[in-house]
Amino acid sequence: MLRALPVYIFGWSNFYFAKLFNMKVIFDSQIFSSQKYGGVSRYISSLASNLAMFQGVDVRIMAPFFINDYLCQLPKGIVIGRKIDKPPFLGSFLRFGNQILGASGVRGFSPDIIHETYYSRYLNWSRNALHAITVYDMIHELFPDNFTGNMQIKEQKIAAIRKADRVICISENTKNDLLKLYDIPEEKVSVVHLGFEMQISDVKMPHKKADSDDMKYLLYVGERHGYKNFAKFLQAYAASSFLRENFMVVCFGGGPFKTYENERFLELKLSSKQIKQITGGDQLLAKYYQDAELFVFPSLYEGFGIPLLEAMSNNCPVACSYTGSIPEVAGPAAAFFDPEDSDSIRDVLEKILQSNDLLTDLRQKGAKRIHSFSWERCARETLDVYEKSLRAS
């Protein structure tokens, strides 16, 4: 499997392993067959491009036909395949075809590591390679009512995890949940935090407030259903005369408000001047972070929580839940509340927003916190997992 004999010089074996061995790593096409853009495909593409920077590491993404935008931005030679426009009725066919076509390419590359990009019970391109897989969260298991077709996803996930030689979790919290829910040997599981780099266009935004309304605003980002707990945040906002009179709520992403949401706004006596929804790309999102008084993240559970780092990187103070992996990512750079208690949310928001000193302190701590997360570090720690696994095999 390995392409050189191990060399141990004065105990330097761990640090210099990648330099002394020519390691071949290949990523499969699963996520790139289904995601045009998104968190998982951004993670894999960023990981692959940073792994390729290490001496002695040869990296490929085997995606004969892909729909993903990020792959087009990677250095030449990493991606084996071509981008296509995906007809909506060919999703399953595309994934199946890529598995068949990819198997031949993998045999030609003869990898040491095959890193699966999502959950498949069938993918087994090479018995001679060590198989790794990343587990992003345990949301389907912990919040089954939030998802349709939940049983099939869970079955595919656990089958993929059990057949893998090495499992990488993106947070300690995800690892703990995985070990609690499934009978997986702990020695098989490692933790590597995600990196972070907000992808923003070079096009300059006008030097004006992101929102045209004069009212200051609290920013909420992403989906609003179920475990995302937007309803509890909204309840806390509506119960505070201070918040209602001084700040509006801007919801970025997540789609237009649904009928039941508009009905709830009426019940809470919230007008269109107090709550609005915005859709846009990373460039516009960055501007909304920069101009917000506070980013509020009330989710009951996250596998990691990238929006926390997005806010901090844009000098936006953060108030968030003290649950799941969120404290692990936010560290000392956020104000925490109990997401299941609307009074706790309201009290924390009011306290922060009435103190310029607290807001300044959160901004300063956020600016320091983001340096704990980089794709170079993520790649280095992932490479360490590969190396230890190959030595043990």
pLDDT exceeds 50 at position 328:
yes
Q: Is the domain of 190 the same as that of 228?
A: no
Distance of CA 336 to the CA centre of its chain: 21
DSSP code string of 266-284: HHTT--TTTEEEE---HHH
Q: Is the domain of 278 the same as that of 130?
A: no
Token pair of 253, please?
Answer: 């992403």
Q: Is the domain of 362 the same as that of 234?
A: yes
Q: Is the domain of 160 the same as that of 292?
A: no
Q: Is the domain of 150 the same as that of 160?
A: yes
Q: Is the domain of 328 the same as that of 379?
A: no
- The pLDDT assigned to 4 comes to 39
The answer to whether residue 321 sits within a structural domain is: yes
Q: In terms of Cα–Cα distance, which of 296, 313, 300 is closest to 173?
A: 300
pLDDT-based confidence at residue 2 (cuts at 50, 70, 90)? very low
- The pLDDT assigned to 85 comes to 82
Residue-wise pLDDT tens digits, 156-210: 899 999 999 999 999 999 999 999 999 999 999 999 999 998 755 443 444 556 6
pLDDT-based confidence at residue 100 (cuts at 50, 70, 90)? low
Structural contact between residues 162 and 194, judged by C-beta atoms closer than 8 angstroms: no
Mean pLDDT computed over 274-301: 94
- The pLDDT assigned to 158 comes to 93
pLDDT-based confidence at residue 25 (cuts at 50, 70, 90)? very high
Structural contact between residues 235 and 342, judged by C-beta atoms closer than 8 angstroms: yes
Percent over 90 (pLDDT), the chain: 69
Q: Is the domain of 108 the same as that of 158?
A: yes
Q: Is the domain of 46 the same as that of 182?
A: yes
Q: In terms of Cα–Cα distance, which of 71, 70, 73, 53 is closest to 62?
A: 71
The answer to whether residue 86 sits within a structural domain is: yes
- The pLDDT assigned to 43 comes to 95
Q: Is the domain of 256 the same as that of 388?
A: no
pLDDT-based confidence at residue 21 (cuts at 50, 70, 90)? low
Structural contact between residues 84 and 48, judged by C-beta atoms closer than 8 angstroms: no
Q: Could you tell me the CA-to-CA distances from 157 to 43, 102, 162, 199, 308 in Å, in that order?
A: 18, 21, 9, 29, 26
Residue-wise pLDDT tens digits, 334-351: 999 999 999 999 999 999
The answer to whether residue 210 sits within a structural domain is: no
pLDDT exceeds 90 at position 121:
no
| Range from 22-26, 65-69, 336-340, 385-389 carrying the lowest mean pLDDT | 65-69
Q: In terms of Cα–Cα distance, which of 204, 218, 202, 198 is closest to 370?
A: 198
Residue-wise pLDDT tens digits, 125-143: 667 899 999 999 999 999 9
- The pLDDT assigned to 204 comes to 46
Q: How many domains does the chain have?
A: 2
Q: Is the domain of 23 the same as that of 163?
A: yes
The two counts, helices (H) then strands (E), for the chain are 16, 13
The answer to whether residue 165 sits within a structural domain is: yes
Mean pLDDT of the chain: 87
Q: Is the domain of 167 the same as that of 289?
A: no
The answer to whether residue 76 sits within a structural domain is: yes
pLDDT exceeds 70 at position 42:
yes
Report the distance separating Cα 329 and Cα 327, nearest Å.
5
Q: Is the domain of 336 the same as that of 221?
A: yes
The answer to whether residue 353 sits within a structural domain is: yes
DSSP 8-state symbol, 293: S
Mean pLDDT computed over 103-119: 85
- The pLDDT assigned to 35 comes to 87
- The pLDDT assigned to 199 comes to 58
CATH number, position 84: 3.40.50.2000
Q: Which residue has the higher pLDDT, 86 or 374?
A: 374
Q: Which residue has the higher pLDDT, 82 or 168?
A: 168
Structural contact between residues 164 and 119, judged by C-beta atoms closer than 8 angstroms: no
pLDDT-based confidence at residue 9 (cuts at 50, 70, 90)? very low
Domain that holds residue 59: 13-195+374-392
The answer to whether residue 178 sits within a structural domain is: yes
- The pLDDT assigned to 41 comes to 92
Residue-wise pLDDT tens digits, 260-272: 999 999 999 999 8
- The pLDDT assigned to 89 comes to 55
The answer to whether residue 97 sits within a structural domain is: yes
